[in-house]
Amino acid sequence: MNYREKCYQISENLKFQYFILILIVINAVTIGLETFDWPDEIMDTLHLADTIILWIFIIELVIRLYGHSYKFFSDPWNNFDFVIILVSLAPTTGPLSTLRVFRVFRALRLVSSMPEMQRMVEAMLRSLRGIAAISWLLCIVIYVFSVLATMMFSDGGPAGETYFGSLGLSLYSLFQVMTLESWSNGIARLIIDEQGWWAAFFFVSFIISTSFTFLNMFIAVFTNTMASIEEGGDDEGISGLINELRDEVAELKQLILANNDNEE
């Protein structure tokens, strides 16, 4: 067994992968602890631990690179790990020192280390097209309601002028209402006091049209994509690779059966 095969076996060993996973969690904790105002002794210890873990990550990356050879870069998650570790090597001084801030992204290696999280990220990325379409529709609805609010409430009193005095203010105020952040006591009741209870119908219809309806649409898109990945019913991403492997295995079975029939 040569060194490349040994490196490959080490990188694929579950105990080795769990060890790296534990280090990723510890490193995420130490980076968070460095944001507190600790005595110099504790800060030096945290920096030392961060440096040691970084070097272990570098050694792990070298092992995986050598073990997998050029195939290492065929996996997007391997490329992700490579970039994260490369950015972590930025110097602590000089013009590139600001890149050291991005070492906190090492915590995202938890995603690349756990297949369940990988499926969630894949579902999120593949849902972007549907989410983008829904977002455009949401923008149109908010724009229509903002124009209506500006026309109806801008001249009604101090609150109307403050929150809906212009189209820009209306867009921002209705975005706040859509998030359900202080919408009742902060905006709606003030407008109702100035305009009357008929204004309540405007805010209730807006919330139903945006917060409730579009939130469920976003959830539906993500859920459908996730179900498609779990069932392997598409030809994109990881599921596509699995389907290709299934087809190849099926072809191999047919060839074996055909050869057995010919021999008989």
Per-position pLDDT tens, the chain of length 264: 677 888 888 888 888 888 888 888 888 888 888 888 888 899 889 889 888 988 898 899 899 888 888 888 887 778 888 888 887 776 655 565 566 666 677 677 777 667 777 777 777 778 888 888 888 999 999 999 999 999 999 888 898 899 999 999 999 999 999 988 888 888 899 999 888 889 999 999 999 989 888 888 888 887 887 777 666 555 444 455 555 666 676 777 777 766 666 665
Residue 9 lies in a domain: yes
Looking at the fold, whether 166 and 189 belong to one and the same domain comes out as: yes
Please say which residue of 113, 140, 159 terminates a domain.
113
Looking at the fold, whether 89 and 139 belong to one and the same domain comes out as: no
- What per-residue confidence (pLDDT) applies to 143? 95
CB 125 within 8 A of CB 77: no
Looking at the fold, whether 87 and 147 belong to one and the same domain comes out as: no
> Using CA atoms, how far apart are residues 236 and 37, in angstroms rounded to an integer?
47
124 contacts: CB under 8 Å, gap ≥ 6: 222
CB 28 within 8 A of CB 109: no
Looking at the fold, whether 26 and 77 belong to one and the same domain comes out as: yes
- What per-residue confidence (pLDDT) applies to 259? 67
Range of the domain at 62: 3-113
- What per-residue confidence (pLDDT) applies to 97? 54
Please say which residue of 66, 82, 113 terminates a domain.
113
Q: Which helix (H) or strand (E) holds 42?
A: helix 40-68
- What per-residue confidence (pLDDT) applies to 130? 84
Looking at the fold, whether 241 and 221 belong to one and the same domain comes out as: no
Domains of the chain: total: 3
Residue 37 lies in a domain: yes
Residue 249 lies in a domain: yes
